[in-house]
Structure 1
C-alpha cells in the first residue's frame, strides 16, 4: 500500500468517524458501539497483517509501544462515544481538531520541543476555522452539553498524550501496519 492510498484511507476514516459514532450511538450503548467498531477494525487489521506481513509484525519487544498507542483508542474512543449523547458530531469534530494544539503544548513539556512555527500555527488555525465554518450550524447546546464537552476534553487530551508519549519512544523498528 503506497503513501497516497494510505493517506486517502486515513482521510476517509477520520472524516467519517464523528458521524459514524453519532449514528451508532443512537442504536447501541456507547461501550457496545465502541466495542463493535473496534472488533470489526481488529478483524480487518488482523486480515491485513496476515495478508501483507504474515503475522511477523507483532513482536513482544514492541508491547510497551502498543500499550502507549492504545491510549489513543481506549479510553479515548469510549469517551467520544459517550460525548455524542450530549453534543453534535460537528462539535465532536471541532473539539478533536484541537488535538494538534494540545499535542504541541504537551510536546513543549514532555519532549522539550516547541513544534509551533508561525507557518504551522497558521495552518492549524486555518484548518480549525474551516472546520468551524463547515459545522457551525450544529452548535446548538442544551443544559447537558457541558457533559459532552468535558468528555471530549478528556478524549482529546488522552489521544494527544498517547501521541506525544509514543513520539518519545523509539518506534523506528515497528512496522506501521
Structure 2
C-alpha cells in the first residue's frame, strides 16, 4: 500500500478484501487529508480504479470483469489533486523508455501514445485524437509480444474512461470508441 496514504506498507490479507477496507481500515486514508480520487492496482501498468469500484472484492476474476488486474498486488493511492491525463501519459512514456524494441506495437505505439495524449491535453481535435488513442491501445493490447506493450493501455484507458474531465472531455459521449 503506497502513494498518498497515511499508513503505507506491506499488508497481507486474503483475497476478497476491498480497496476501501485496505485504504481506510489499514491505510488510514490519504496522507494529504484530501479525498482519494484514484487507486492504481497491480503495478505501474495496472488500471486506475475509481471510487465506484472500491467495494469490489480484490480477486482475479472480479477485477478482470471490470477491466482491471490484481497484478503483483501493488496499490498506489492518488488524492483528488492527481491529473489522470498526466498519469496516463506517464504510463505510455514508461513503456516507450522501457520497451525492448522487439515489437512495433510497443516500441512505436507507446511513442505515438505519448504524442496523442499530448494533443488531447492541448485540446487539438480531441474527438479524433481520443478515437486514435483507443485504436492505438487496442493494437497494443492485441499485437504486443509481451505484457509490457499489452498492459500499457490499462492505466491509459482506465484514466480516459473514469476521469474524462482530466483530458478536457466533459461529456461521456465524447468517449465513444
More strand by share: 2
Normalising by structure 2, we get a TM-score of: 0.29
Q: TM-score, normalised by structure 1?
A: 0.29
Bigger RCO of structures 1 and 2 (CA < 8 A, at least 6 apart): 1
Task: Find the structure with the greater CA-based Rg.
Answer: 1
